[in-house]
Amino acid sequence: MAAPSPRSHLYRLLLILVVFGAGFLAVKQWATPDSWNYEHWYRGDAVVEAAAQPLVYGGNDSCKTCHKDVAKLWRKKPHRKVACETCHGPIVDHAKAGKKTAVAFIDKTRAQCLNCHLEGINRPRAFPQFSKQGEIGKLVPKHKELDAVTPCAKCHEAHDPRP
Amino acid sequence: MELPGDALLNYVFPNNVHVAWSVMIVIYPYITGLIAGAFVVSGLSHVFKVKEFEPIANFALIAAFCFGLFAATPLLVHLGQPQRALEIYFTPHLTSAMSIFGYVYSGYLLLLMIEIWLIYREYFVRKAGEDTGVMKLIWTVLTLGVTTYHPDSAKLDRKLAVILAGIGIPWAFILHGYVGFVFGSVKAIAWWATPLQPVIFLLSAIVSGMAIVLVMYSFIKWRRGERLDQPMVKKFSAFLWGIFILDVTMELLEVAFAAYEKGWHWSQIKPLLLGPLFETYVIGQLLVLSVVPFVILGYVVLSGVKGRLMLILANVAASFLLLQVLFMRFNVVVGGQLISKSERGFVEFHWEPFSKEGPLTAIVLFSAPFVAYYIISRFIPILGHDDDSSVAR
């Protein structure tokens, strides 16, 4: 048998590296989703899949189709930046294909108002802020005689909450 | 306590009370740094021909490999999704430093493996001829079936190993410079965001890697009851001292710039360093763990101290430096997250000693490279007894 070339071990190493590299590329090809968008770095099918999800929240425009009067009032008042479904719940529980299917849920608790109006040092000073139960009278004199549980909505109309 | 942003209250965002990158992310750059540093020691011998380091060049290379095997394990524990760990390799792109890391790290490990293989090939060939049974099979696989050792291939192997070591040095620098890059590029965290960060990480990596090589070398020689190579330790101390001075200079420059500019960065960093990081940064990293080894190594290098005392002093200094770099990693990784995203307060760090990502896990993961080294050293001669002529130098 002829003596092996002094480079034969390197050829074998090279072969292993090539096989390993090719195997890696094959696995990479297999593991990368077909619809992968290399330009913007996301799975293309994800958009289609997300669009096919059933509708839960319809947005303000979907409410306006029936509730034109409320929309008109609400549009001019301080709460115009709050979406209808924030307090009324998702439209999917209330209407389907333009027809009412159930009475809309309304969260009238004080906690619901305090989701935004609880005092916090990160909120702008001019933004109306209130402490939790019991301390509500500190900022607004009219609140002094309030108990800890009466909902804000008892006096304030949520669509136009000004005092 | 002084607070960032002239805040009167310690105001921390409600979703910002937990330090998410904890001990695991502290030891991850620490272990990665040990690889780079240990590799530099072997590179100084193989490429730059520092002849004093010749006896420990292969040892440093194997040590680098052992640390390399476990460098990514803290990340795995931190992410907790082993089945997703490989995905970073499948969708690499140039806009994510983390994604590029997969390639830099695995390429580097491959380079280390090939260099070690070239150096130990003659030994594998010899063992494949001597041993029997399963061991013979293992040795033969390691020789890739080429069981004769051609004198010409010895020359070729040596040349290739030098070339690989030459490529390996900049590659090790990229590997660790990248780790600093990941932190330095987070512009939202004032304590991290500086272009000096990669340089600081790299230099501290070399310091810690060299220090662990010295401590491991001394420990192994002491356990074996062998004499330590004094000229080597002396030269080693000189290199370690020099690189450490560079390292501390960069660390101090970063803070000095922020302090002198007195800008927004300093408004965040000053209360951090004087508050939550006072013990670990000012007292730990700077006053104790930098000044003491600086003085000791200076004495070892500049004075004529010899013998046992020199060896002890060099090792004490190296141990201090190991801690210095560990403290530095902690101060950077955890320290940066202590400034709340509100920039008006500090988050509290909890050690959680026995949690999934706590110090206990860190100790276990950090022991793994030493166990790997012990196992490897049972099979191949690493810190040569001088009769191991079949291992290339």
Q: What is the pLDDT of residues B287-316, one digit of tens each?
A: 999 999 999 999 999 998 989 999 999 999
Is the separation of the CB atoms in A84 and A104 below 8 Å?
Answer: no
Set of chain B residues whose Cβ sits within 8 Å of the Cβ of A13: 114, 117, 144
Token digits of residue B235:
């030269």
Amino acid identity, position B347: V
- Distance (Å) from the C-alpha of residue B206 to the closest C-alpha of chain A? 30
Write phi, then psi, for A82 (nearest 5 degrees): -95, 125
Q: What is the pLDDT of residues B102-151, one digit of tens each?
A: 788 888 999 999 999 999 999 999 999 998 899 999 999 999 988 888 88
**Cα gap B13→A87, rounded to integer Å:** 25
Is the separation of the CB atoms in B61 and B119 below 8 Å?
Answer: yes
What are the residues of chain B with a beta carbon less than 8 Å away from any beta carbon of chain A? 9, 11, 86-87, 89-91, 93, 95, 114, 117, 121, 143-146, 148, 150-153, 156, 160, 342
**Cα gap A77→A80, rounded to integer Å:** 6
Flag whether pLDDT at A7 surpasses 80: yes
**Cα gap B159→B118, rounded to integer Å:** 10
Percent of chain B with pLDDT over 90: 74
Token digits of residue A120:
């916090």
Is the separation of the CB atoms in B197 and B328 below 8 Å?
Answer: no
Is the separation of the CB atoms in B212 and B322 below 8 Å?
Answer: yes
Task: Write down the pLDDT at residue B97.
Answer: 77
Contacts of B110 (CB under 8 A, 6+ apart): none
Q: What is the pLDDT of residues B151-186, one digit of tens each?
A: 888 899 999 999 999 999 999 888 888 889 989 999
Q: Is B271 helix (H, G, I), strand (E, B) or coil?
A: helix
Q: What is the pLDDT of residues B2-41, one digit of tens each?
A: 888 888 888 888 888 889 999 999 999 999 999 999 999 9
pTM: 0.83
Average pLDDT of the segment spanning B68-78:
91
- Distance (Å) from the C-alpha of residue A6 to the closest C-alpha of chain B? 5
Average pLDDT of the segment spanning B273-282:
94
- Distance (Å) from the C-alpha of residue A13 to the closest C-alpha of chain B? 8
Q: B156–A6: do the CB atoms touch at under 8 Å?
A: yes
Q: B91–A36: do the CB atoms touch at under 8 Å?
A: yes
- Distance (Å) from the C-alpha of residue A18 to the closest C-alpha of chain B? 13
Interface predicted TM-score (ipTM) of this complex, two decimals: 0.81
**A37, closest residue in chain B (CA to CA):** B91
Alpha helix positions (H), chain B: 23-46, 54-70, 73-79, 87-90, 97-130, 133-142, 151-184, 197-224, 230-261, 264-274, 291-302, 307-338, 359-379
Nearest-CB residue to A9 (from B11, B95, B144): B144
**Beta bridge mates, A157:** A160
Flag whether pLDDT at B100 surpasses 90: no
Portion 118-157 of A in contact with B at CB < 8 A: 121-122
Q: B144–A12: do the CB atoms touch at under 8 Å?
A: yes
Radius of gyration of the CA atoms of chain A, in A = 31
pLDDT band at B387 (very low <50, low <70, confident <90, very high): very low
Q: B93–A13: do the CB atoms touch at under 8 Å?
A: no
Counting every residue written for chain A, the total comes to 163
Q: A38–B93: do the CB atoms touch at under 8 Å?
A: yes
Residue found by looking up tokens 């890391």 in the block: B101
Task: Write down the pLDDT at residue B386.
Answer: 47
Name which of A5, A9, A40 to mutate to probe chain B: the one with the most chain B Cβ atoms within 10 A of its Cβ: A9
- CB of A53 within 8 Å of a chain B CB? The answer is no
**Cα gap B322→B340, rounded to integer Å:** 29
Q: A24–B86: do the CB atoms touch at under 8 Å?
A: no
Token digits of residue B221:
């020689």
Is the separation of the CB atoms in B59 and B382 below 8 Å?
Answer: yes
